Amino acid sequence: MKVTAIIGFCVISAVLLKAVERESPVIKLLGVLFAFCTVIYFALAFVIDITDTFSPLIDSAGIDSEYFEILMKALGIAYLSSAAEEYCRQCGESALASAAALIGRLGITAVSLPLISAVADLVGGLIK
């Protein structure tokens, strides 16, 4: 599915959900969640294309593919936690929104630990 079609889906969903908002706020929030999950599903195709494009380039450059995986995981966590945070704010749950942001930051840190360890080993090797 092309980007323009996905953006069109988002705009149409927003208009329809705005119309439903007065009648049933709960259905509106469920509709937003459904639309978000649908967009994420189609966005995964782009992630696969990006990964397929960059993998041979990274291999030919002699860069460890683990670093690219860490980058992709960190980006995924950042996007998902940001979207979850915004959704929680729309629901009026500021505490949950803050929790989503916190867990996103912690998740990125946890995913990045092998990279941080490699940098520390490199610096330690240079100092000795």
DSSP-assigned letters across all residues of 59-92: HHHT--HHHHHHHHHHHHHHHHHHHHHHHHHHTT
Q: Residue 124 — very low, low, confident or very high, per pLDDT cuts 50/70/90?
A: confident
Q: Are residues 37 and 75 in the same domain?
A: no
Q: Residue 8 belongs to what domain range?
A: 1-62
Instruction: Say how far apart CA 44 and CA 35 lie, in whole Å.
Output: 14
Q: Are residues 5 and 47 in the same domain?
A: yes
pLDDT in tens, 52-105: 888 888 888 887 788 888 988 999 999 999 999 998 888 888 999 999 999 999
Q: Are residues 53 and 69 in the same domain?
A: no
Structure tokens of 88?
Answer: 């929680």
Instruction: Say how far apart CA 111 and CA 73 lie, in whole Å.
Output: 7
Structural domain tally of the chain?
2
